[in-house]
Amino acid sequence: MLKPLSRDRWNYQAAAHLFNRAGFGGTPAEIQKLVQLGPERAVAHFVDYEAIPDNTAEPSWAEPEPDRAGKFMAAQRASEEERRKLLRERQQQDRQRTIELRHWWLKRMATGPRPLQEKLTLFWHGHFATSIEKVREAYLMWQQNDIFRRMAMGNWLDMLIEVGKDPAMLVWLDQAQSRKEHPNENFAREVMELFALGEGHYTEKDISEGARALTGWSYDRARQRFVERSFAHDRGDKTIFGKTGNFDGEEFLKLVVDQPHAPVFITGKIWTFFAGEPPSREVNEALASEFRSAGNTFKPVIKTMFAAEEFYAPNLIRNQVKSPVQWLVGSVRMLERELPPPMVCFALTRNLGQDLFAPPNVKGWDGGLSWITTNNLLARYNEAAALVQGDMSGAGGAMLVNNPKGNAMIDRMLQNAPVGRVNPDKLITQAEREDKERLLASLERRLIQDKLKPKQQATLRDFLDSKSDLSDEALRNAIRLVMSTPEYQVC
């Protein structure tokens, strides 16, 4: 069991750290509230989210498509030309819905009542890294997202079974096409390599036998749901991790989570995502043993993690590169402004290297320092102007489609999008406007949650000194400059 952080180390920076990691950051007033709650209640505020009502409406199209089977039949009777037209319309609709879906989720993160639930959903999305690029249907991506949200702190085996039977996953890792005559190993392999055990904890034989156990799990395209096809299931004996039996898919997944390394693997992943660095062996062991004794459920171990002294180690605080999603959502929260329109959000995060619902591969986003390249960093600085000043001139250029003409059109559209901008009166008091030292300190506290370097402070002072009066525009420029620093990119 890890020791909780002592009350005397609980301060603005520790509370800001919890807010950044268990959620997407907060305003100085929100952070101050956490400070007053004390560490234990502050952690509970995030983790005991089931008690908080969440009335967010689902996207209007988030239900199985009515009479799909009929439409499929009609399409089969249609001419080649009509079929192509239908396909184009369907693709267009799914592209549009995916953009809506991204916005719907970003909005939950930015303003929803349960920030940790959304952060965990983001973790699971990166963990099970399924992409619309192959799945092709926004409805299926929403359905998977809903699983992650519902089961975010639940039981590990339940989650794996639900994900294994999830239509998006069935399509993504080809399980839908697996038959006893041709077992497809993709899902069985990734369950072991990426989802639950890690390399070195299974053999190639375990994979091929696991794939046999999973045969029969498939996807009913017409009803848009999981189906178990008994004719496709291999009923023969399989030997997995040295045990032999006529295992089916659920039994296979149970064998996986019962492997001795499984709790170490998944709790290590969770710690790494939230803390920003892999846990020490001692911390990992402590988390794994708590996870085991809680019957492989996540909630207790997540609570322990956020309360632990180790989670507030100096080398973890302000040492995590913000993911593009964290950067966008966190900025919107700190700047107390609206989330930009859907197309703009899509372009902003894509520019920075993170498309929700389209991770680069089944390993998910590498994260950490790999978020940062010279051009991604410049893009962050330019996108700061979009958020603060509504100025998209440096923030376009995202390759949204693989077609130069289309991109030029989208760029023009983005330039004219109603992005909105920051209202300095919300962030800066009249007294701060009149005293540059107080103004600088206030910007640091809100945006950096720490001090800038003396030279940077001097630069900002020089900048403010060059203004005869601190107009809203001058203040927005100053905010954008603070966001255009290496310091702003970490949390």
Partner 1 sequence: MKPEITLRTRREFLRSTVLGSALSWTVPSFLANTFSVLQADAADKATQAVTGKDGRILVVLQMAGGNDGLNTVVPYTNDYYLKARPRLGLAKKDVLPICDDIGLTDNLAGFKELHDSGHLSVIQGVGYPNPNRSHFRSTEIWQTACDADRIESSGWLGKYFDNTCSGCDPTVAVNIGRQMPQAFAAKNPKGVSLDSPQNYRFVSGERGKEGGMMEDSYKKLNEPDMENSGGTVEALSGPVKHSGSALDFLERTALDAQLSSDQIRGIANRTENHATYPASQLGNSLKLVAKLIGGGLPTRIFYVSQGGYDTHTNQANTHQRLLKDLGDATKAFIDDIKAQGNLSRVLVMTFSEFGRRVAENASGGTDHGAAAPMFIAGEKVKAGLLGKYPSLAPADLYQGDLKYTVDFRSVYATVLERWLQTKSAPILGKSFPQLEFV
| Residues near partner 1 (CB under 8 A) | 174, 177, 179, 181-182, 184, 186, 189, 193-194, 199, 276, 315, 318-321, 351, 353, 360-363, 366, 368-370, 372-379, 381-382, 385, 389, 391, 393-394, 396-397, 399, 402-404, 453-456, 459-460, 462-463, 465-466, 477, 480-481, 484-487, 489-490
Question: Shortest gap between Cβ of 462 and partner 1 (angstroms)?
Answer: 4
Is the Cβ of residue 305 or residue 385 nearer to partner 1 in the bound state? 385
Question: Shortest gap between Cβ of 452 and partner 1 (angstroms)?
Answer: 8
Is the Cβ of residue 159 or residue 481 nearer to partner 1 in the bound state? 481
Is the Cβ of residue 164 or residue 359 nearer to partner 1 in the bound state? 359
Is the Cβ of residue 333 or residue 350 nearer to partner 1 in the bound state? 350
Question: Shortest gap between Cβ of 484 and partner 1 (angstroms)?
Answer: 5
Is the Cβ of residue 112 or residue 167 nearer to partner 1 in the bound state? 167
Question: Shortest gap between Cβ of 321 and partner 1 (angstroms)?
Answer: 5
Question: Shortest gap between Cβ of 471 and partner 1 (angstroms)?
Answer: 11
Question: Shortest gap between Cβ of 464 and partner 1 (angstroms)?
Answer: 10
Question: Shortest gap between Cβ of 213 and partner 1 (angstroms)?
Answer: 19
Question: Shortest gap between Cβ of 320 and partner 1 (angstroms)?
Answer: 7
Is the Cβ of residue 171 or residue 302 nearer to partner 1 in the bound state? 171
The rounded distance, in Å, linking the Cα atoms of 212 and 270 is 30
Is the Cβ of residue 132 or residue 302 nearer to partner 1 in the bound state? 132
Is the Cβ of residue 112 or residue 183 nearer to partner 1 in the bound state? 183
